[in-house]
């Protein structure tokens, strides 16, 4: 029997030994109050609790309160499932001396040679309550255990610098919430705002005023201040449905909860916005704030006349991408430039906007030559380094290697974007006022019985034989099919070649007009576009329409003569021969294409 007692005692001692080692060694030293909001005629209890025994406990000075009782010391040892727990606390009962918001400062204690401190505790003292000994109502408990906070990433940003606002609802573990409704949403006056969708509400653990809470992020918004100075963020107000524990229990011993509605709101936040510095501000600064890269990209640099290319001005990075203008592209006036197309690819996160903005210019050169694309500057303000930065694109050259010559003055400044031309006098658009008009009074004459009267009276009768003769000739011509075809072809040739005939004294203009006449003729007859105007394509189409080999060779030869004339000297006789040949070829081809 004695051996059995010894065996049980040994097991107990071993269990105590190992349990002592299994005890959690993490030291906890916390301060808790009976309520965080009380009337000036109420009392407050504060407990300083540690999970390991300590010495040299030093309480705070309790500024704003009078100590009514304390310190009262209590020690607790517990064994739960073979695990030992220890708790030691110092308690005080305080009476507030005045109304206001107070912070009960840190208490200290020494445990195993190390000094530990509690976190400060915030307490608000209000006006006297009617019954200081009455238990708090469900609304009082909910207001004390529920807090809506607006956390601002930066309260002193620069103008147009991104700041974020997170709205968090802190919930004490003692209560439960099951619904909330927004009552008053902030309008963010003087801010450019962008909401960030909170896809799923997720409860997390955190500290609020030194106490453990659960919190949920309800709303996130990114703001860009549009004015310097003091700007206010209006409060967000919610109506929350809360379950608050009572002092009653059901038949199973579980605490009974009661439901109530309470309104919570954030504090009004003041943002002090700094203006952008004037020192060092570039002249072309358009309001970009952040960190950016900049470039001007050409789709191609070598092309023919009447072909198109695209020039893209691109800014990418992180900052206020939607709140500034891109620099414009300056090009020579001899290039045909269309209005730019704007595009953006931007995503907004809690840190701000990030992505790319682009303006695309479509450019069509009309004449051959080399056209410079000057460098383009883009400036922005970097709030981290607090200085302006200027980015420049590389200057490039557009080479148009095939096309008509512009014939402009070689001394023209193509970089200026303006080509100076003399004013041409067309017709009578600039006439001086006549000072001597030599006006003649209008005479009143009798019309009846005059020569004009008889001509107008008998003239229509005389036109009847003339009309008969003209009608007979038209009928005879209508019956002449071959003659009509020849006349029609000659009119068509004169129509398309009229401009070329006017420029027989200028080789460049003559062949340019001749080539345009031949192309326009094919466009009208074969319904072609400019991109199909190759010699091989023309040959195939003419063969399909039944044109003879000689006619096709003649037409292609004329096109070759027009191209060759740009680079070789020409004579007046050669131009006359090519003109007559073109008229003949058009007249012959029209028989097959008509």
C-alpha–C-alpha distance, residues 560 and 554, integer Å: 10
In tens digits, what is the pLDDT along the chain, a chain of 594 residues?
445 444 444 444 444 444 444 444 688 888 888 888 888 888 888 999 888 888 888 999 888 898 888 788 888 777 766 677 788 888 898 888 888 889 888 999 998 888 999 988 888 988 887 666 666 667 777 778 889 999 999 999 999 999 999 999 999 888 888 888 888 888 899 999 999 988 888 888 888 877 889 999 999 999 999 999 999 999 999 988 888 887 777 777 777 778 888 888 898 889 999 999 999 999 999 999 999 999 999 999 999 988 999 999 999 999 999 999 999 998 888 888 999 999 999 999 988 999 999 999 999 998 889 999 999 999 999 999 999 999 999 999 999 998 887 655 433 344 444 333 344 444 444 455 666 777 777 666 677 778 888 888 777 877 888 888 888 888 777 676 656 655 665 566 566 677 777 777 777 788 788 777 777 777 666 666 655 667 777 777 777 777 778 777 877 887 787 777 766 777 777 788 878 887 777 777 776 766
For position 443, what pLDDT does the model report?
64
C-alpha–C-alpha distance, residues 487 and 484, integer Å: 5
For position 99, what pLDDT does the model report?
87
Phi first, then psi: what are they for 343, rounded to 5°? -145, 155
Contact (CB, 8 A) for 62 and 97: no
The SS3 of residue 583 is helix
The sign one gets for the Cα dihedral 529, 533, 537, 542 is positive
For position 270, what pLDDT does the model report?
92
Concatenating the DSSP letter of every residue in 557-577 gives HHHHHHHHTTTS---HHHHHH
Structural element, H or E, at residue 585: helix 572-593
For position 410, what pLDDT does the model report?
38
C-alpha–C-alpha distance, residues 109 and 124, integer Å: 26
Q: What separation in angstroms does the CA of 325 have from each of 51, 283, 340, 578? A: 62, 14, 13, 55
For position 360, what pLDDT does the model report?
94
Tell me the pTM: 0.50
The sign one gets for the Cα dihedral 19, 20, 25, 27 is positive
- Nearest CA to 334 among 303, 379, 371, 389? 371
Dihedral in degrees, nearest 10, Cα atoms 580, 586, 587, 592: 150
- Nearest CA to 162 among 22, 352, 342? 352
Count how many Cα atoms sit within 13 Å of the Cα of residue 66 in the half-sphere of its side chain: 8
Omega into 71 within 30° of 0, i.e. cis? yes
Q: What separation in angstroms does the CA of 115 have from each of 32, 199, 263, 594? A: 19, 44, 41, 108
Pairing of the two strands 290-298 and 237-249:
unpaired
For position 445, what pLDDT does the model report?
66
Pairing of the two strands 302-304 and 396-402:
parallel
């Amino acid at each position: 029997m004695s051996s059995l007692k010894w065996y049980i005692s040994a097991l107990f001692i071993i269990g105590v030994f190992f349990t002592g080692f299994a005890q959690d060694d993490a030291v906890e030293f916390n301060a808790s109050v009976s309520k965080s909001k009380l009337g000036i005629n109420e009392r407050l209890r504060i407990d300083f609790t540690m999970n390991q025994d300590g010495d040299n406990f030093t309480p705070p000075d309790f500024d704003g309160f009078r100590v009514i009782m304390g310190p009262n010391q209590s020690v607790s040892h517990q064994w739960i499932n073979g695990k030992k727990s220890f708790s030691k606390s110092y308690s005080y009962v305080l009476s507030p001396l005045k109304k206001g918001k107070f912070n009960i400062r840190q208490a200290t204690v020494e445990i195993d040679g190390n000094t530990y401190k509690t976190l400060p505790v915030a307490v608000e003292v209000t006006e006297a309550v009617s019954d200081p000994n009455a238990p708090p109502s469900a609304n009082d408990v909910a207001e004390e255990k529920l807090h809506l906070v607006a956390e601002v990433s930066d309260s002193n940003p620069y103008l147009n610098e991104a700041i974020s606002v997170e709205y968090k609802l802190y919930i004490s573990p003692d209560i439960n919430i099951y619904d909330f409704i927004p009552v008053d949403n902030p309008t963010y006056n003087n801010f450019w705002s962008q909401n960030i969708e909170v896809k799923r509400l997720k409860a997390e653990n955190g500290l609020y005023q030194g106490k453990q809470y659960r919190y949920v992020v309800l709303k996130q918004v990114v703001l860009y201040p549009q004015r310097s100075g003091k700007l206010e963020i209006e409060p967000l107000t919610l109506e929350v449905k809360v379950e608050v524990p009572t002092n009653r229990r059901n038949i199973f011993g579980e605490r009974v909860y009661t439901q109530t509605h309470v309104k919570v709101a954030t504090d009004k936040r003041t943002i002090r916005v700094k203006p952008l510095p004037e020192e060092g501000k570039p002249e072309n600064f358009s309001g970009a704030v952040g960190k950016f890269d900049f470039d001007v990209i050409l789709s191609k640099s070598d092309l023919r006349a009447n072909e198109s290319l695209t020039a893209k001005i691109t800014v990418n990075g992180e900052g206020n991408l939607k709140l500034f203008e891109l620099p414009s592209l300056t090009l020579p006036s001899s290039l045909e430039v269309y209005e730019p197309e704007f595009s953006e690819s931007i995503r907004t996160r809690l840190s701000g906007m990030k992505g790319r903005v682009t303006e695309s210019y479509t450019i069509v050169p009309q004449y051959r030559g080399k056209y410079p694309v000057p460098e383009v500057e883009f400036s922005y303000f970097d709030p981290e380094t607090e200085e302006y930065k200027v980015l420049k694109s590389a200057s490039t050259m557009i080479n148009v290697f095939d096309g008509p010559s512009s014939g402009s003055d070689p001394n023209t400044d193509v970089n200026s974007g303006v080509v100076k031309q003399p004013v041409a006098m067309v017709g009578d658009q600039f006439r001086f006022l006549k000072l001597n008009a030599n006006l003649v009074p209008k005479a009143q004459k009798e019309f009846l019985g005059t020569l004009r009267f008889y001509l107008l009276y008998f003239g229509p009768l005389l036109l009847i034989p003339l009309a008969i003769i003209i009608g007979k000739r038209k009928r005879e011509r209508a019956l002449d099919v071959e003659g009509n075809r020849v006349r029609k072809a000659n009119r068509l040739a004169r129509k398309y070649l009229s401009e070329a005939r006017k420029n027989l004294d200028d080789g460049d203009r003559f062949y340019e007009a001749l080539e345009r006449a031949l192309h326009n003729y094919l466009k009208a007859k074969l319904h072609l576009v400019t991109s199909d105007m190759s010699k091989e394509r023309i040959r195939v189409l003419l063969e399909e329409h039944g044109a003879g080999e000689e006619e096709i060779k003649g037409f292609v030869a004329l096109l070759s003569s027009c191209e060759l004339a740009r680079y070789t000297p020409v004579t007046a006789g050669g131009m006359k021969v090519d003109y007559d040949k073109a008229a003949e070829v058009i007249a012959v081809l029209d028989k097959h294409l008509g």
